Amino acid sequence: MFEKQTVEVFIDKIPDLKSLGKVFLTVLYILSLGALCAVFFFYVDRLAWYAPILSQFAMAWIVTAVSYMHFKMVNGYREKHGTLAYRYYFYQLMIPYLVTWYACFFHPLFVSGTVLLPWWLAIGLGVVFLLLMMVTNLHIERAGFHMVTHGMDVYTVFPGEATVVYGEIYGYIRHPLYLALTCGCIGLAFLRNNTVALVVALLQLIPALAAGYMEDRELSNRVGEEHKKYIKQTAALIPVRRLLSFLKLLFFLGK
């Protein structure tokens, strides 16, 4: 029921999605951007064995640049478009951001190279990292951070409509969504089972760490001392000092 409400909130912010024709155009727009990313990777990756690393590095910086614009331009969207601010933000910034980031996410799955590990070990590690991604996402939802609204930056545009999430998994790490994406990307690299794919996957940390830093800065300005204290007490992605209790939380074994 609550998930249905979050979908309704999202659609209310983008009236275009109430029209079947505009939904089709939106999907076409997303697919077109995805195709451009795929063409870029396809032609650049063929140039040399190390080319996938260069193409991933370039795409990671594109994601980072769009992420920077998210925070730099959001006030202008609110001032210019008012209640329709998220509509314009979604089409002009959010879709390019998501498409380029997920291009980075899936890229390792298409990278060739020298075999890194025995097949059984590579598959095992791939499954473990993908499982970590899934359980992390489950705990993100459980904490009150909903992918359809929070994850799509609805409350970046309208921060007054939601509270900042600090409980559950957010008591251990500040950016579990980026941890989930990183684990998933590494999992795909292990399934591909080569060194170049693994390096490509690790480059996904560039936008993850950059976006996390920018989110912390924006929340510190908005929330104040509470968030600054939270930053000092909580790890960004991996709670090294509390790793065991974090893993227990992830797998429903308690704190």
pLDDT in tens, 8-65: 889 999 999 999 999 999 999 999 999 999 999 999 999 999 999 999 999 999 999 9
Asked whether residue 255 is domain-assigned, the answer is: no
* Predicted local confidence at residue 77, as pLDDT: 96
Look at residue 224 and tell me whether its pLDDT is greater than 90: no
Look at residue 241 and tell me if it is in a domain.
yes
Within a domain: 143: yes
User: What is residue 254's predicted lDDT score, i.e. its pLDDT?
Assistant: 57
Does residue 4 carry a pLDDT above 60? Answer: no
Q: What is the pLDDT of residues 92-147, one digit of tens each?
A: 999 999 999 999 999 999 999 999 999 999 999 999 999 999 999 999 999 988 88
3, pLDDT greater than 60: no
13-47: buried (b, 16+ CB within 10 Å) or exposed (e) per residue?
Answer: bbeebeeeeeeeebeeeeeebbeebeebbeebbee
CA distance 185 to 64: 17
Is a pLDDT exceeding 50 seen at residue 1? no
Q: What is the mean pLDDT of the chain?
A: 93
Task: Tell me: pLDDT of 2 over 50.
Answer: no
Decide if 178 is inside a domain.
Answer: yes
Counting the structural domains of the chain, the total is 1
Which residue's structure tokens are 């614009």?
Answer: 69
The predicted structure's pLDDT at residue 53: 98
- Tell me what pLDDT residue 160 has: 85
* Residue 30 included in any domain: yes
22 domain residue, yes or no: yes
- How large is the average pLDDT for residues 191-217? 96
* Spatial CB neighbours of 87, under 8 Å, sequence gap ≥ 6: 13, 14, 15, 16, 81
Res 182: pLDDT: 97
- DSSP symbols for 107-138: GGGG---SB-S-HHHHHHHHHHHHHHHHHHHH
Give the Cα-Cα-Cα angle 58, 145, 61 (nearest 5 degrees): 10
| Residue at 17 is within a domain | yes
Percent of the chain's residues with pLDDT above 70: 97
- Does 231 reside within a domain? yes
pTM: 0.94
Domain extent for 75: 2-250
Give the residue among 111, 96, 108 at the shortest CA–CA distance from 184. Answer: 108
pLDDT of residue 161: 85
Asked whether residue 251 carries a pLDDT value surpassing 80, the answer given is yes
**What are the distances in angstroms from CA 188 to CA 53, 62, 67, 233?**
15, 21, 24, 32
The two three-digit tokens of residue 39, written as one number:
């063409």
